[in-house]
């Protein structure tokens, strides 16, 4: 992969495009960037529809450019920038966000747009040789080899900022380039906190509410990813992401429960060594690592006090309670468009749950039914991925209706 430990160190300030700036990851990234004004600049910011949130960030960070995903909100964005006396150039629509990703002035792109909506801009950044900080796991889950090919042809650099994958990266040799055999890597172990429902029975989750599912005990995240954590679908998507990032097959990528969320991932080596990355459950650590790489920079996160942290527990995953994890292993084995189908079905199901149109346990049922109904095809172009995504969404919408009706 043209992105693990190949980019040369540079001393010039880096212009950063934060795509998905109003989300929790975008906010954490901007906090880190603001701590390093001599070396990092928030050059461009984007949001989907949160104009007021985007304007508030522009007033603090003074970016050169800002884009809103919903084209109908361009006038509101432009007017707000003028009223604030900012010289920030406004734009709107999906194409505008892609333009930010490929802008010649931009060195680093934080891909933090949630879900499949972030696919096009992530690929645009990869094709134009950017340093891509990958927080949007769906982009690599959906496209896999296509994203890696885009990075290779564009000469870009891919750095993972999911806490687990960033932890794996930190535990690998500096010369690692998707060649686990040469480096003696045996296994990757991703940790999962279990979210708010660890220790519960599956039968007890039938009537849980969106607020209960989003009440993560350790991490502060957006509502969609919080639900994914509650179902463990997020960990399943991370298994797929780890396969593409680090070149290991599914049967060498493990998931264990670790409720303290102190150990973020481990790498097992052929000689019996097991290396782990530890830290507070704060996304700024992974973001600072990627923004400053290969140097270490201040993240605003205190060092972990091991005495205060106390005991560290590890448990097997309850695969009946967290059945969504097995769906991810299933689609990774199937290959082709199957991961894109699962991602699309999950987005539809989670949205329906958050809108209180679907029961929590039916998120799994919608995803499984969609996988059964949509045939897997090869991924030979972005069009094939988008076609599978569109078909899966239609099938999933129908499944939502069926399961919602059955539960009434």
pTM for the whole structure = 0.90
pLDDT by residue (tens digit) across 301-317?
Answer: 999 999 998 899 999 99
> Alpha-carbon distance 407 to 402, whole Å?
9
Average pLDDT over residues 100-111: 97
The answer to whether residues 130 and 108 touch, using CB atoms and an 8 Å cutoff, is yes
For the chain, the average pLDDT equals: 92
> Alpha-carbon distance 383 to 399, whole Å?
24
Among 212-216, 244-248, 375-379, the range scoring the smallest mean pLDDT is 212-216
Average pLDDT over residues 368-397: 95
pLDDT exceeds 60 at position 33 = yes
**Where are the chain's structural domains?**
14-160, 163-329, 335-408
- Strand-pairing partners, residue 276, are 266
The answer to whether residues 24 and 114 touch, using CB atoms and an 8 Å cutoff, is no
Task: Kindly report the length of the chain.
Answer: 408
Confidence of residue 6 (pLDDT cuts 50, 70, 90): very low
Q: Selecting from 3.40.50.720, 3.40.50.2300, 3.40.720.10, 3.40.50.300, what CATH number does the domain 14-160 have?
A: 3.40.50.720
Listing DSSP states for 77-91 in one string gives HHHHHHHTT--PEEE
- In the prediction, which pLDDT does 1 show? 40
pLDDT exceeds 90 at position 74 = yes
> Locate tokens 């106390």: which residue?
310
- Strand-pairing partners, residue 136, are none
* Architecture label for domain 335-408: Orthogonal Bundle (1.10)
> Alpha-carbon distance 340 to 384, whole Å?
10
pLDDT exceeds 80 at position 56 = yes
């Amino acid at each position: 992969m043209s992105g693990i430990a190949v980019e040369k160190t540079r001393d010039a300030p880096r212009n950063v495009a934060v795509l998905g700036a109003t989300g929790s990851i975008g906010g954490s990234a901007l906090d880190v960037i603001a701590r390093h004004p001599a070396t990092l600049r928030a050059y461009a910011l984007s949001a989907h529809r949160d104009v007021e949130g985007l304007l508030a960030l522009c007033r603090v960070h003074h970016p050169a450019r800002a884009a809103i995903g919903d084209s109908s909100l361009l006038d509101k964005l432009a007017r707000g920038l003028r009223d604030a006396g900012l010289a920030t150039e406004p734009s709107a629509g999906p194409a505008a966000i892609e333009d930010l990703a490929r802008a010649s002035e931009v060195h680093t792109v934080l891909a933090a747009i949630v879900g499949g909506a972030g696919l096009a801009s992530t690929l645009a950044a990869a094709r134009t040789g950017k340093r891509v900080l990958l927080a949007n796991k769906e982009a690599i889950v959906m496209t896999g080899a296509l994203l890696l090919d885009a990075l290779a042809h564009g000469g870009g650099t891919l750095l993972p900022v999911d806490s687990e994958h960033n932890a794996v990266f930190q535990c690998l040799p500096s010369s690692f380039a998707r060649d686990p055999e040469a480096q003696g890597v045996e296994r990757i172990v991703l940790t999962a906190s279990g979210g708010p429902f660890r220790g519960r029975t599956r039968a007890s989750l039938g009537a849980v509410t969106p607020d209960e599912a989003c009440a993560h005990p350790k991490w502060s995240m957006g509502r969609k990813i919080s639900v994914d954590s509650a179902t463990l679908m997020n960990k399943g998507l991370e298994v797929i992401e780890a396969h593409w990032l680090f070149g290991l097959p599914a049967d060498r990528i493990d998931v264990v429960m670790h409720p303290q969320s102190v150990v973020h991932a481990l790498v097992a080596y052929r000689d019996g060594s097991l290396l782990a990355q530890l830290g507070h459950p704060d996304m700024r650590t992974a973001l600072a690592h990627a923004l400053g790489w290969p140097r270490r920079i201040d993240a605003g996160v205190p060092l972990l006090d091991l005495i205060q942290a106390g005991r560290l527990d590890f448990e097997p995953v309850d695969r009946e309670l967290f059945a969504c994890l097995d769906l991810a292993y299933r689609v990774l084995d199937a290959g082709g468009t199957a991961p894109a189908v699962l991602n699309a079905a999950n987005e539809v199901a989670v949205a329906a749950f958050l809108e209180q149109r679907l029961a929590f346990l039916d998120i799994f049922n919608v995803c499984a039914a969609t996988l059964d109904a949509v045939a897997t095809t090869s991924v030979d172009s972005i069009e094939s991925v988008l076609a599978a995504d569109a078909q899966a969404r239609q099938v999933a919408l129908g499944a939502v209706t069926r399961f919602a009706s059955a539960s009434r």
